[in-house]
Structure 1
Amino acid sequence: MTYEHKTLWDYGKYAPRTPLSGHVLVGVDGSAEAARALDRAVAEAQARRTPLEVLHGWPWARHGTPEPARGADETTHSLLDRAHGVLRTAMAQVRERAPGLRVTATLSPQPVAAELVRRGRNAALTVIGSRGLGEITGLTAGSVGWRVAAHCASPLLVVRGEAAYGWPEHGTVLVGVATDLDTEATRFAFEQARLRGARVRVLHACAVPVPAGTAPAADADAVVRRRAAVPGRAAAALRGKYPEVEVETDTVWGGTTQALVEATRAADAVVITAHRRHGQRPGPRLGPVTHALLHHAHCPVFLVPAP
């Protein structure tokens, strides 16, 4: 393993550098959830044959920005020692899991959510945990994890559910499609299945299209046929590009959110398009399906930003 410890702290002096590109980025905060996210990030970097960047951001905003070394108080020194300890522990974990992996450790003085989003723009994948003791992993409204999910510009993996603990494996990557235009999420699911040697299940969950008695039977049947064809159309262009990937397509009628959450019980990962809403409040908001999966999915969740 090539270990490049490019820490950005010199007791208050920030040395900016050009972020990596095409790599796997993972946020760590010393929690058990972050350790599981790091394990998954190592596996993703190995599968993609790309470098790994382990990021620990400055999460102690209430203490302010540290002064240079001569003026640093005891609290600052203690916090910096803890931060370096988090990175050392993370690097030891990577060294044990993947001795040949090229990895960079980064300690940034910037707010951690903003730094994950910024560095994630150039990453092939950003990985975070779903909850934990630190500020990286919580997914409550306004938390670091929630802000990363709402603003990420490249694919994000939120490690949660039974598969986060290494069991069980179903050999299935689930992708939820709202329409056959969710092409980026579907392509990402096929690629993930190829890397894992798994099959893809393309699932379109929607409400009952026409309430009984409100439209002619022929019209209702036409709507049902169109919506039932959505997952097949979403996968059609990718079957030829990924001939080695087994594909299952399915449309489930009823509650969209409940159907997707239930389907994650039999998947190793779920992929969805990160549809965001812009309203009166500042910044983008996550849609209800994304919200539900981040809180209740039984497997890790990949969010793929909409083009």
Structure 2
Amino acid sequence: MAATPQPPPLHGRVVLGYDGSKPADRALEYAVDEAVRRRTGLEILCGDPWTPPAPAGEGLSAEGYRTRYRATRDMVDQAAEQARKLSPGLTVVASVTIEDAAKSLVQCSRTAGLTVVGTRGHGGFAGLLLGSVSQRVAARSESPLMVVRGDDGLRDRPRGTVLVGVQSNTDEAAVRFGFEEAQHRNAALHVLHAWQFPPLKPTPHLVPPGGPLQRDAEDEAVRRASQAVPRYAVSSHRDAYPDVRVVTDDICGSPSAALVEASKKADVIVLTAHRNPHRAGLHLGPVSHAVLHHAHCPVVLIPSA
């Protein structure tokens, strides 16, 4: 009789949100890779896409619910077996819960080292539309969240670069994660800051106060400050990761467009999940939202402090 798999360590494990779809199967491969790199275990979690037994004559019967649960259990067990084939010796546990899928993943993120989900093209994660379950996970995850998207052959033909987008010194956690990921992958680290000149302030004068020379000086000050952002971001981590080759870069232009374009040459892009707590619920910022929809490689969102 086969031994019951021991659960992976609670803290630091990789958690995969799984629903049996093709994108989820692709995310499974990435989740296995990440667990191996981190020398930790993998938990494959299928949350509740169904409803509890309804009263007689309303919705799914109790027997129908049990049948559906058993089928889901078999599906997740098969996924766990596939993960073990991809990496013999990896500790893998299959979990099925009757709790809401997004709520379960967010709860797991409190102790996970990384949570992984799949995505279909420009739509949602593993068949779930952006703005529903998937956005709840992206907006509320309490640990790094990897959204697997991009070219199908990327996993087998790595580009050798981890890309980190930085906005300011508040992105320190994303930079640290980028260094760790680059070291795990034996890849280069590309830290990119995209910036834009502040708009001209309305003035009743045809010539701005101080004249064009003052405006030129102000623009140059903005340029120099922006160029310093990525260099400052990596400065405190270089000694801890001496073997990681680092490239810092700045681009004057749309942050979303610059990061999406740079993702064509990256294996993964890392961003801070800047969230807007002042709207109803938590919402991702416009740059994170755009990159999630259009990046050419997997995206890792790091919770903001």
Q: 2:300 aligns with which of 290, 297, 302?
A: 302
Q: 1:175 aligns with which of 161, 164, 175?
A: 164
How many residue pairs align between the two structures? 288
Distance of 1:37 and 1:76 partners within structure 2: 27
TM-score (norm 2): 0.87
Does the CA contact (< 8 Å) of 2:53 and 2:61 recur in 1? no
Amino acid at match of 2:140: H
How far the C-alpha of 1:89 sits from its partner, in A, is 1.8
How far the C-alpha of 1:139 sits from its partner, in A, is 5.6
Q: 2:137 aligns with which of 138, 144, 148?
A: 148
Tell me the C-alpha RMSD between the 2 structures.
Answer: 2.6
Does the CA contact (< 8 Å) of 1:157 and 1:302 recur in 2? yes
- The answer as to 2:284 corresponding to 1:286 is yes
Distance of 1:167 and 1:242 partners within structure 2: 26
TM-score (norm 1): 0.87
Does the CA contact (< 8 Å) of 2:197 and 2:219 recur in 1? no
Distance of 1:28 and 1:91 partners within structure 2: 10
Distance of 1:32 and 1:270 partners within structure 2: 22
Cα separation, partners in 2 of 1:244 and 1:94, compared to 1, 3 Å: same
Q: What corresponds to 1:14 in structure 2?
A: none
Amino acid at match of 1:242: Y
Larger radius of gyration between Structure 1 and Structure 2: 2
Q: What corresponds to 1:9 in structure 2?
A: none
Cα separation, partners in 2 of 1:126 and 1:249, compared to 1, 3 Å: same
Distance of 2:62 and 2:169 partners within structure 1: 57
Q: Which moved more, 1:185-194 or 1:159-168?
A: 159-168
Q: What corresponds to 2:248 in structure 1?
A: 249
- The answer as to 2:106 corresponding to 1:130 is no
- The answer as to 2:13 corresponding to 1:4 is no
Flag structure 1 segments of 5+ consecutive residues without an equivalent. 7-17
Secondary structure of 1:181 counterpart = helix
Amino acid at match of 2:246: V
How far the C-alpha of 1:93 sits from its partner, in A, is 0.8
Cα separation, partners in 2 of 1:290 and 1:65, compared to 1, 3 Å: farther
Deviations 1:251-274 (A, max 9, x none): 011111111111100000000000
Alignment map for 1:157-172 (pairs within 5 Å):
157-162=146-151, 166-172=155-161
Amino acid at match of 1:46: V
- The answer as to 2:186 corresponding to 1:188 is no
Q: 1:22 aligns with which of 8, 12, 15?
A: 12
Distance of 1:147 and 1:181 partners within structure 2: 23
Secondary structure of 1:123 counterpart = coil
Flag structure 2 segments of 5+ consecutive residues without an equivalent. 202-206, 209-213
Cα separation, partners in 2 of 1:198 and 1:165, compared to 1, 3 Å: closer
Distance of 1:253 and 1:171 partners within structure 2: 25
Q: What corresponds to 1:110 in structure 2?
A: 99
Distance of 2:20 and 2:129 partners within structure 1: 19
Distance of 1:240 and 1:5 partners within structure 2: 37
- The answer as to 2:77 corresponding to 1:88 is yes
Alignment map for 1:198-217 (pairs within 5 Å):
198-209=187-198, 215-217=214-216
Q: What corresponds to 2:211 in structure 1?
A: none
List 4+ stretches of structure 1 deviating above 4 A: 209-215
Distance of 1:156 and 1:44 partners within structure 2: 12
Distance of 2:30 and 2:183 partners within structure 1: 17
Distance of 1:77 and 1:264 partners within structure 2: 44
Identity rate of aligned residues, in percent? 44
Distance of 2:23 and 2:258 partners within structure 1: 26
Amino acid at match of 2:188: R
